[in-house]
Amino acid sequence: MKIFLAVCSLVALSSCANPFLENYSGTRFPATEHAVILMENPEGQSPIGRSAFIATQVLGDDEAIAAAQEVGATAVVWSKSYLNSTTDLTSRVQPVTSNTTTTIVGDVNAQVTTTQTDYQYIPETRTNHWWEYKAAFYRIPK
């Protein structure tokens, strides 16, 4: 049971991971309470780290700010660029259960129910939109 709970916890945590953090490369400082989004790189400042990745997730300021705070940055400049869309044909497996009831009348009356489960393969198309994300994280002195 402990292993099951540990696996469930790991799955739950990984499903909400921040790609800006997963792909972060650079120096980490103590976490900051506040970080801001900048529209362009601050003049005369070097980033403490960068993040770059391609994903189908749609991310925004909230994820960039959360990553900045966790790595100890006070500012982040980030961008999102559309790359392309891909459409894949997949199949979804759906169980189909059928019940057959047979009534036998004679010397002994009986009713027999048979349950059979088959699987139906349903074709589906899935379209993914791919985005390129880039971020630079800064510690700007007060």
Higher pLDDT, 121 or 135: 135
Higher pLDDT, 68 or 101: 68
pLDDT of residue 106: 74
Rounded CA gap, 82 and 130, in Å? 6
Rounded CA gap, 97 and 95, in Å? 6
Residue 11 scores a pLDDT above 60 = no
Residue 6 scores a pLDDT above 70 = no
> What is the rounded average pLDDT for all residues in the chain?
88
Beta-sheet pairing, 49-55 with 110-138: antiparallel
pLDDT band for position 40 (cuts 50, 70, 90): very high
What is the pTM (predicted TM-score) of this model?
0.68
Rounded CA gap, 57 and 130, in Å? 8
- Note whether 49 and 21 are within 8 A (CB): no
Rounded CA gap, 96 and 119, in Å? 6
- Note whether 98 and 61 are within 8 A (CB): no
pLDDT band for position 76 (cuts 50, 70, 90): very high
